[in-house]
Structure 1
Amino acid sequence: MTRSGQDYLEALRDGREIWLDGARVKDVTTHPGFRSAAASFAHLHDLAADPAHRAVLRTADGVHRAAAVPRSYEDLVARRRAYKRWAEAGFGFLGRSPDYMASAAAGFAALPAALTGEHHDGAGPALALHRRIAEDDLFCAFTLTDPAGSAPGDDLRVRAVAERDDGIVVRGAKTVGTGVVFADEVLVGTIEPLAPDDTEHALSFSVPVDTPGLRLISRTAYAQGARSVFDRPLSARYDENDALLVCDDVFVPWERVLSYRDPATTAAMWWRTPAYLHAAHQSATRFWTKLEFLTGLAILIARSNGTDTLPAVAQATGRLLGMVAQAKAFVLAAEADWEPVDEGRGGVRPGQEISFAQRIMAGELYPRALQDVKLLAGGALIQLPASGHDLDHPELGPLVRQYVRGGGAPDAHTAPEERIKLLKLAWDALGSEFAGRHEHYERFYQGAPHVYLTMQTWAGGADDCEALARACLDGYDLGTAR
């Protein structure tokens, strides 16, 4: 089924339990804190349904390319082009768009046997999840992070509290549910390895967001504080939100349980299947797109300031363009370094070593890119009219137009309205609360540094590096002639 944006919005009106600022949200499609982001996700569905974009976004069978199991290098390239088209629609700021989990689900489907555990066979539920996403164009989000800290005897983590013939009853919480308030389903689980004896928390399942007992407590909705798109062009439209997910005796049918009471299987669904690497391919493409946006913003600011030809500014722009090239190179290299899944029976996956390394690059590069753009913008970012409507004020308007304009030669000055529009966009990307969330988000997008830096040591390449250094050592000794 090819869903339109309107189909998607109608599906969100299902009575899901979402809380914001102490009040229950009746309808995310009309609430001021959520409606604009819902419309942005709807736009992605409209793009996928548009014949003009069909060849890029869908396979010949009509499935979104993210949900199709890639069988070749060419399929990976086609996937990346689809990721890029959607990422550009949100300028890289929709970090968990529907193609993220669609890619992961295709990874489950590529090697479903990895989800067959000692206590539960999750292969069937994993394949069913993939079918729902692929055939019904569903938006599946996920939440995998446990709440920090527990009082003695008080387990905050999601676990099963009862077993029934037809399923399990779960209780507990997960945090940082990015995009869950806008999703059709949510995958609840864990991605970090559990202790072999921690069977109680070895649990993964996917349920509709309107499942009884499932509650979402939203963080501040940045869109609600954005007075207009002109004043907050990113916050007002692309705040995908993060929420605390609380399960209050939620019933989960067995056919929706992907792993159960098996730490090995709970980890294998991400690390033995290509699920994580497929999702990382999407996120790396989005990150590349986001850096393109920031660099383009820097170029526009320098031109508006009349400083774009100064050597120091040209060097700063070159450094940003170099960052874009680095981000692009990681994507293309991971594709070219593709590896077979299950000896080819599960298709192919992007190269693991390079995909893992991209996490290190992205987490370190994004704050540097922001810093460089801020330096190019200078103090103009913090001296802007409170509202773009000041331009229309009978008394303030003439003053604003006189004193807020670009640099350079008088005949090259940026018009006041365009100058303010550009700098407000820049502030929203660089200095607003929305921007602060994104800087922190990119630092931890692929997990905590202590986790992914450690994982890099077993991603591949260490033996080759050691062998090369050893070859040099073995090539001489005390008796070697000069």
Structure 2
Amino acid sequence: MIRTGEQFRDSLRDGREVWINGERVKDVTRHPQFKPLVDIRARIYDMQHEAKTQEIMTYEEDGERFPIGLRLPFEKKDWDDKRKAVDTVMNDIGGVVTRVGDETIGEMWSLWDGKEILNEIDPRFAENIERHIHLVIKNDPFHVSANTDPKGDRSKRPQDQDPDMLVHVVKETDAGIIIRGAKYETAAAYSNQAFLKPTIANWGDAKLSEYALGCIVKMDAPGVKHICRTGFTGRAPERDYPLSNKFDEVDTLMILDNVLIPWEDILFYQHTRAAAFIRQTLHRYSAFPFVQRTLSYADLIIGAALWNAKQTGLDKQQAVQEKLAELAIWREGINAHLTAAIATGERSPNGLLMPNQSLLFTGRCHALNNLPRMMHIARELCGGQICVTPDSAVFDHPETKQWMDKYYTVNDEWQAEDRRKLLALARDALNSDYAGHRLTFQLFAQSPPFAQSAAVYRTFDWNQPLRFAQKAGGLSNNIWGVTKQAAE
């Protein structure tokens, strides 16, 4: 059944070991650096119950309601419903969040698509992944994804250095397997469980490896420790940094210190073929909500830039309109890829409707490769005042307020306080520590840029342009044998 926000908060008060700024956190639901995001996730749970949003956020089946975000996608409407739910959340909270659960469950759907491979290895693995997918739908946990290891010296094999640099199995028991290592994971400290899988892409000729592991890790399991980076919340007043204080998703180094994984929570183990499959297909579903979040971020920075241009009448200048058009072209390119990926969706090996893979991954590259340049255009449109404007305390102090009112009031519509708020928003979205963090996060959150390009290479239909050029040039059919050999 769908949870309430308070039930979610209660699920986090489980004695988990969380560290931040050199202190052990007693309660992540109340700690100032975690509370804003906990509250946002709780708000999403509550939206599933409210009359105004319940039909958008949930669906009904056999008399029970379940989250739209976790629903298995079998038809175009399922994806349209998911997209509407995400837009509704972003509009309600007034910002952009990336890790809240619905964007990570798709990675489990990808593994489920490989159930034939899992059945060849061990039928229990296919049964486990299917059961866990339905458990997530039923129990509605905050589910995240554990991907990146510390890795250590990448010029060496894992076996030739500290083996804990990559998560691995150290022991089998009757109850399950014991694992060691660490993973970097956003939001792990205030989530319920993670789908852990390896980051190794090339296993060579090895058929078995203690590093080939996919499993469910409960965040409160004995031996799990959460060591978090310092958050942006509270560094400066919320009035001056409205995004940093509300939407910072704290990242965690999740230590796995001899953690027991029960056999029923193991999704694959030892077999590198299963590990290679999940790495190649990991984002076939989850890239869609990720790119949709980038679309929301595009709207945020375009809106901040356009309001800055409008308040002084600069939006009527041709040079400014050209800059705004560049932002619009980028934004609509993201929108077009999302829309087309669903309109031309493909049937997966397990019968799910997956977004058109070539359009989805080219859309992801379009969104992220252009993001740094678009942020810079938005900075230019906002002007230099986003980096020189004093903080809100100066606008309030009786000895300086008159000067702030004088020089920051533009006209009858734009008084000093609204102009200050807009500049604070633009500064936080484009110029702050939080803005730099979000830019890096967007570029690397699903995979590094080279891996994103590799996904495009694997999913693009190269035969279509090859055949077109063959016909245009009158080339013989013999060349297809050479092309096939080269591909193999």
TM-score (structure 2 length as normaliser): 0.90
- 1:213 counterpart residue number: 223
How far 1:34 moved relative to its partner?
1.0
The alignment status of 1:341 with 2:351, answered yes or no, reads no
**Structure 1 segments of 4+ aligned residues over 6 angstroms from their partners:** none
The alignment status of 1:245 with 2:247, answered yes or no, reads no
- 1:479 counterpart residue number: none
- 1:174 counterpart residue number: 183
Distance 1:220 1:63, change over 3 A: same
Could you tell me which amino acid in structure 2 is paired with residue 164 of structure 1?
T
- 2:306 counterpart residue number: 299
- Give 1:266's match in structure 2, choosing from 242, 265, 275: 275
How far 1:111 moved relative to its partner?
5.5
- 1:49 counterpart residue number: 49
Distance 1:265 1:111, change over 3 A: closer
- Give 1:74's match in structure 2, choosing from 64, 74, 77: 77
**Where in structure 2 are the equivalents of 1:69-148 lying within 5 Å?**
69-90=72-93, 93-109=96-112, 112-116=115-119, 118=121, 121-148=124-151
SS of the equivalent of 1:250 reads: strand
Could you tell me which amino acid in structure 2 is paired with residue 470 of structure 1?
Q
How far 1:349 moved relative to its partner?
1.1
Could you tell me which amino acid in structure 1 is paired with residue 215 of structure 2?
F
- 1:424 counterpart residue number: 424
**Where in structure 2 are the equivalents of 1:322-361 lying within 5 Å?**
322-342=329-349, 346-361=351-366
Please list every run of 5 or more consecutive structure 2 residues that lacks an aligned counterpart in the other structure.
477-488
CA contact (8 A) 1:145 1:174 kept: yes
Equivalent residues, number = 465
- 1:401 counterpart residue number: 405
- 1:470 counterpart residue number: 470
Could you tell me which amino acid in structure 2 is paired with residue 189 of structure 1?
K
CA contact (8 A) 1:140 1:184 kept: yes
CA contact (8 A) 1:80 1:281 kept: no
Could you tell me which amino acid in structure 2 is paired with residue 6 of structure 1?
E
SS of the equivalent of 2:316 reads: coil
SS of the equivalent of 2:435 reads: helix
CA contact (8 A) 1:299 1:317 kept: yes
How far 1:91 moved relative to its partner?
5.3
The alignment status of 1:225 with 2:229, answered yes or no, reads no
Whole-angstrom CA distance in 2 between matches of 1:224 and 1:213 = 30
Whole-angstrom CA distance in 1 between matches of 2:12 and 2:376 = 38
Could you tell me which amino acid in structure 1 is paired with residue 338 of structure 2?
V
SS of the equivalent of 1:63 reads: strand
Whole-angstrom CA distance in 2 between matches of 1:460 and 1:39 = 41
- 1:187 counterpart residue number: 195
- 1:34 counterpart residue number: 34
Whole-angstrom CA distance in 2 between matches of 1:238 and 1:120 = 42
The alignment status of 1:256 with 2:298, answered yes or no, reads no
Distance 1:403 1:301, change over 3 A: same
CA contact (8 A) 1:223 1:239 kept: yes
Whole-angstrom CA distance in 1 between matches of 2:108 and 2:291 = 17
How far 1:171 moved relative to its partner?
0.5
Whole-angstrom CA distance in 2 between matches of 1:77 and 1:25 = 39
Could you tell me which amino acid in structure 1 is paired with residue 46 of structure 2?
D
CA contact (8 A) 1:103 1:282 kept: no
Alignment RMSD: 2.1
Aligned-pair identity in percent equals 27
How far 1:107 moved relative to its partner?
4.4
Could you tell me which amino acid in structure 2 is paired with residue 455 of structure 1?
A
Distance 1:57 1:104, change over 3 A: farther
SS of the equivalent of 2:33 reads: coil
The alignment status of 1:376 with 2:366, answered yes or no, reads no
CA contact (8 A) 1:193 1:263 kept: no
Whole-angstrom CA distance in 2 between matches of 1:56 and 1:114 = 36
Could you tell me which amino acid in structure 2 is paired with residue 256 of structure 1?
D
Could you tell me which amino acid in structure 2 is paired with residue 401 of structure 1?
D
Whole-angstrom CA distance in 2 between matches of 1:356 and 1:447 = 12
Whole-angstrom CA distance in 2 between matches of 1:92 and 1:115 = 40
How far 1:26 moved relative to its partner?
1.1
Distance 1:285 1:401, change over 3 A: same
How far 1:438 moved relative to its partner?
0.8
Could you tell me which amino acid in structure 1 is paired with residue 173 of structure 2?
R
How far 1:90 moved relative to its partner?
4.8
Whole-angstrom CA distance in 1 between matches of 2:87 and 2:365 = 21
- 2:370 counterpart residue number: 365
SS of the equivalent of 1:277 reads: coil
- 1:480 counterpart residue number: none
Could you tell me which amino acid in structure 2 is paired with residue 179 of structure 1?
A
How far 1:114 moved relative to its partner?
4.1
How far 1:200 moved relative to its partner?
1.5
Could you tell me which amino acid in structure 1 is paired with residue 395 of structure 2?
L
CA contact (8 A) 1:120 1:259 kept: no
How far 1:328 moved relative to its partner?
0.5
Distance 1:241 1:122, change over 3 A: same
Could you tell me which amino acid in structure 1 is paired with residue 437 of structure 2?
R
Could you tell me which amino acid in structure 1 is paired with residue 396 of structure 2?
D
How far 1:132 moved relative to its partner?
2.5
Distance 1:47 1:106, change over 3 A: farther
How far 1:121 moved relative to its partner?
3.1
Distance 1:127 1:119, change over 3 A: closer
Could you tell me which amino acid in structure 2 is paired with residue 347 of structure 1?
L
Deviations 1:437-469 (A, max 9, x none): 111111223311222212322213111112212
SS of the equivalent of 1:221 reads: coil
How far 1:396 moved relative to its partner?
1.8
TM-score (structure 1 length as normaliser): 0.91
Could you tell me which amino acid in structure 2 is paired with residue 187 of structure 1?
F
Could you tell me which amino acid in structure 2 is paired with residue 58 of structure 1?
T
Whole-angstrom CA distance in 2 between matches of 1:460 and 1:432 = 37
Q: Decide which moves more: 58-67 or 132-141.
A: 58-67
Could you tell me which amino acid in structure 2 is paired with residue 118 of structure 1?
I
Distance 1:39 1:459, change over 3 A: same
Whole-angstrom CA distance in 1 between matches of 2:105 and 2:49 = 16
CA contact (8 A) 1:120 1:260 kept: no
